[in-house]
A and B are shown apart, each in its own frame.
Chain A
Amino acid sequence: MARITREEVERIADLARLTLSAEEAQALTHDLDTMLEYVQALDGLDTQNVEPTAHPLPVATALRPDRARPSLAPEEAVGNAPEREGSAFTVPKVIEGVES
C-alpha cells in the first residue's frame, strides 16, 4: 500500500512553497514513498518513556546584556536584495484589489 499519495505530495509542496511539474510530482511521490517505507523501521523501536533529544549536548539559554552593538548598515543589509527601494526590500503587492 502506498504510504503517500500524489495529492498529499502536492499538498505538502504547497505548504513548502514549491511548485512541482507533473513529472516532478510523480517522481517525488515515488521517492517519498520509498523513504517513508525505509524510516518505518523505527516503528519497531520501543520508545515508551524515552525523552526526545532536540539537541545533542545540554545547552542553557544564552543570555547577554541588552546593549546596542555595531551591526550591518542598512545599505549593506539590503545589498543582496534582488529588488529594493532605498533600504527596503520590494516584493509583489500583497493586498488584493489595491492599485499599486
Chain B
Amino acid sequence: MAQRLGTLSELRAALDDGRTSASDVVAQALGRARELAPAFAATRGLRADRAAEEALQADQRRTARALRSVLDGIPLLLKDNLNHRGEPTTCASRILDGYVSPYDATAVERVKAAGGVVIGRTNMDEFAMGSSTENACDQPTRNPWDPTRVPGGSSGGSAAAVAAGIVPVALGSDTGGSVRQPASFCGVVGIKPTYGRVSRYGLVAFASSLDQVGVFSRTAADAAALLQVISGHDPLDSTSLDEPVPDYAAALDGDVAGLTIGLPREYFVEQGVDPDVLERVRDAVKELERAGAKTCEVSLPHTPYAVATYYLIAMAEASSNLARYDGVRYGHRATGAHDLQSMYSRTRSEGFGAEVKRRILLGTYVLSAGYYDAYYRKAQQARTLLRGDFEAAYRSCDLILTPTAPEVAFALGERSADPLQMYLSDIFTVSANLAGIPGISVPCGFARDLPVGLQLLGPALGESLLLRVADAYQRRTDWHTKTPPEAS
C-alpha cells in the first residue's frame, strides 16, 4: 500500500530538503488513489501518464531553480465539474458521456501555471446536486472514517481523497455547502470563499448566483496556500471581484486575542442538532476563548427560512443552466429520435438522474407563468432579509461560529428516499451562499468515532480572518492530525 501523503507544507519541506522529488510524490499519490479506489470510490479518473510527465517537469524546474510557487510539483485532485483541457469533465452525469474539455477553467489554469500537478478528477453528486455523493451516476463515494457512511456532498470525492491521504489538497465547489459539509463529515478543512473571489469560468454552472470554487486540505495553512493561487479577478467571469488578493499565509499569526466571535442563537439549538456535535462545537468555542477570543450571542432571525429560500433559488437557476444539455453540442444524444423536440426530451430523460430531474422540474415550476412571484420573487426577497441578518450581526462581532452540519456522516441509503431530509443536512451552510460571504469548516473532534466540523463565517472578503482563526485553532488542537483507521 502506498503511504498516506503528508500535508502540502510537509511535502513542500521534503521537496525543498531534497528528501523526495515531485515525481516520487506524484507516483505515491497515484498509487494510493488506485489502491483506495475499490474501497472508497473517491476518484472518477486518473491521468497517470500526464501527471508523471508534469511531475518530471516540476523536478526539472527545481534543478533549474525556477520553481513557480509553493504548489509546484504538489499533486492535487479536481472535482469533476471543473474543465481541464484535454480531460473528460462528467459532473458524474451520463449526459456528459464522452465530453472532453476543450479549455481550462480559470482556477485550473492558475493551478497549472503555479506548477500544481493534477492527478485526476473526484466523484460528486450529479451536477453537484446532493449532500452525500450518492447521486453520482455510477457509484457513491464512501467515507474513509466508516465506509458504510457517506462522505457528505456534493464534493464528497474531494473531501474523501484528502481525508484518505491520497492528495494533500483538492478543489471542490460550494453552492449550498458542498465544500464545507463534506469537509465536516470527512474531518478535513474546507473553505468556500466570498462569491466572486475565485473565477467561476470553466466551473460547470449549477446555480450561478451561489456557486463558488472552494478548497479542501488538512490544515488551514494549506488551504491558504491553494486559495492564494486560485483567487483573483478574471475578465472571463464578469462576477469575479476586482479586488486585490491579500497574502493569506501572512495572516496566519496564531493570534485570536481581541477578536469577537458571534454565536448565532438560531444555530445552537437542541432540536434537530446532534447533541454530541453541539458539545464538540461548544468545546471549540471554549478553546478559542482560552486563546483570547471573546464571544457573544448574535441573532440571525431569518435562519428558519434559509433552506426553503436556498432551494427555490438554486433549483430555479439550475433549471435554466441545465437547459444547455440538449444533445446537440456535446455529451450524450439519444438515438432514434425523428424530430428535434423528441431528440431533446429523450436525450435529457436518458441523461439526467432522478435528483437532477427533480430539481429541474421544481425550478421550471417556480419560474413558470403564475408562480414566479409567489415562489421565485418571494425567495429573492427572503434572500435580502438573510443577507441583512449577517450585516446586522457583523456590527457586534468580527466573525460567526456555528456547527458546519447538524450531524455527523449518515449511513449510505439512509436519506435516498427522502429528498427533503437530505436538503436539511445543509441547514447551517446555505445562508453563506445566499449572502455571498465566505465560510470555512474545521475539524473540531469526534462524535461516536466520526468527525465533527465547526464552521466559521466571515464578512465578504474576510478569508484572511477565517484562515487565521482556523489556523490558530489548529495550532492549539490536534484533531486535524488524526487519520481514518480504514485509510491509515
Chain B positions 176 through 218: 1 when the CB is less than 8 Å from some CB of chain A, otherwise 0: 0000000000000000001110000000000001100000000
Cβ-defined contact, A52 with B339, below 8 A: no
Can you list 26 residue pairs at the A/B interface with Cβ under 8 Å?
A8-B365, A17-B323, A17-B348, A18-B345, A20-B357, A24-B357, A38-B307, A42-B309, A45-B305, A45-B378, A45-B385, A47-B385, A50-B381, A50-B385, A51-B384, A52-B383, A53-B384, A55-B209, A55-B239, A56-B195, A56-B434, A57-B460, A62-B238, A79-B102, A80-B331, A91-B328
B102 interface neighbour in A18, A43, A80, Cβ under 8 Å: A80
B416 within 8 A of A: no
Q: Would you list the 9 A-B pairs with minimal beta carbon distance, nearest first?
A: A56-B436, A52-B380, A80-B330, A82-B333, A62-B238, A47-B381, A53-B383, A39-B308, A50-B381
Which residues on A sit within 8 Å (CB–CB) of B385?
45, 47, 50
Cβ-defined contact, A41 with B304, below 8 A: yes
Please, which residue of chain A has its CB at the minimum distance from the CB of B433? A56
Cβ-defined contact, B368 with A15, below 8 A: yes
Cβ-defined contact, B364 with A12, below 8 A: yes
Cβ-defined contact, A28 with B305, below 8 A: no
A38 interface neighbour in B308, B333, B344, Cβ under 8 Å: B308
A59 within 8 A of B: yes
A52 interface neighbour in B304, B343, B381, B437, Cβ under 8 Å: B381
Which residues on A sit within 8 Å (CB–CB) of B339?
92-94
Cβ-defined contact, B102 with A82, below 8 A: no
Chain B positions 372 through 413: 1 when the CB is less than 8 Å from some CB of chain A, otherwise 0: 000101111111110100000000000000000000000000
Cβ-defined contact, A12 with B368, below 8 A: yes
Contacts A47-B378, A55-B209, A82-B331 known; A31 to B349 CB distance under 8 Å? no
Secondary structure dominating the interface of A: loop
Interface size bracket, B side: 35 or more
Which residues on B sit within 8 Å (CB–CB) of A83?
333
Q: How far is the CA of A4 from the CA of B365 in the complex (A)?
A: 10
Interface residues of chain A, those whose CB is within 8 Å of chain B, are 4, 8-9, 12-13, 15-20, 24, 28, 31-32, 34-36, 38-39, 41-43, 45, 47, 50-57, 59, 61-62, 64, 72, 76-83, 89, 91-94
B471 within 8 A of A: no
Please, which residue of chain A has its CB at the minimum distance from the CB of B239? A59
Q: How far is the CB of B237 from chain A (nearest CB, A)?
A: 9
Please, which residue of chain A has its CB at the minimum distance from the CB of B436? A56
Q: How far is the CA of A79 from the CA of B329 in the complex (A)?
A: 9
B340 within 8 A of A: yes
Please, which residue of chain B has its CB at the minimum distance from the CB of A62? B238
A91 interface neighbour in B103, B307, B340, Cβ under 8 Å: B340
Which residues on A sit within 8 Å (CB–CB) of B329?
78, 80-81, 89
Which residues on A sit within 8 Å (CB–CB) of B302?
45
Q: How far is the CB of A41 from chain B (nearest CB, A)?
A: 5
Cβ-defined contact, B340 with A77, below 8 A: no
Q: How far is the CA of A4 from the CA of B381 in the complex (A)?
A: 24
For A59, A81, A92, which residue has the most chain B Cβ atoms within 10 angstroms? A92
Q: How far is the CB of A87 from chain B (nearest CB, A)?
A: 12
Interface residues of chain B, those whose CB is within 8 Å of chain A, are 98-100, 102-103, 194-196, 209-210, 235, 238-239, 241, 302, 304-305, 307-309, 311-312, 319, 323, 326-333, 337-341, 343-346, 348-349, 352, 354, 357-358, 360-362, 364-365, 368, 375, 377-385, 387, 419-420, 433-437, 460
Contacts A34-B420, A82-B331 known; A16 to B360 CB distance under 8 Å? yes
Cβ-defined contact, B349 with A20, below 8 A: yes
Please, which residue of chain A has its CB at the minimum distance from the CB of B432? A56
Which residues on B sit within 8 Å (CB–CB) of A42?
305, 308-309, 312, 375, 378-379, 382
Q: How far is the CA of A76 from the CA of B99 in the complex (A)?
A: 12
Q: How far is the CB of B293 from chain A (nearest CB, A)?
A: 27
Cβ-defined contact, B348 with A18, below 8 A: yes
Cβ-defined contact, A91 with B387, below 8 A: no
Q: How far is the CA of A40 from the CA of B348 in the complex (A)?
A: 29
Please, which residue of chain A has its CB at the minimum distance from the CB of B330? A80
Cβ-defined contact, A57 with B331, below 8 A: no
Which residues on A sit within 8 Å (CB–CB) of B239?
55, 59
Which residues on B sit within 8 Å (CB–CB) of A93?
339-340
For B102, B419, B433, which residue has the most chain A Cβ atoms within 10 angstroms? B102
Cβ-defined contact, B319 with A16, below 8 A: yes
Q: How far is the CA of A4 from the CA of B309 in the complex (A)?
A: 19
For A45, A56, A72, A94, which residue has the most chain B Cβ atoms within 10 angstroms? A56
Contacts A19-B346, A92-B337 known; A35 to B331 CB distance under 8 Å? no
Contacts A17-B341, A35-B311 known; A79 to B361 CB distance under 8 Å? no
Contacts A50-B381, A57-B436 known; A18 to B308 CB distance under 8 Å? no
Contacts A19-B349, A81-B330 known; A57 to B241 CB distance under 8 Å? yes
Contacts A15-B368, A39-B312, A54-B380 known; A32 to B361 CB distance under 8 Å? yes
Q: How far is the CA of A8 from the CA of B364 in the complex (A)?
A: 11
Cβ-defined contact, A31 with B419, below 8 A: yes
Contacts A18-B349, A51-B381 known; A91 to B419 CB distance under 8 Å? no
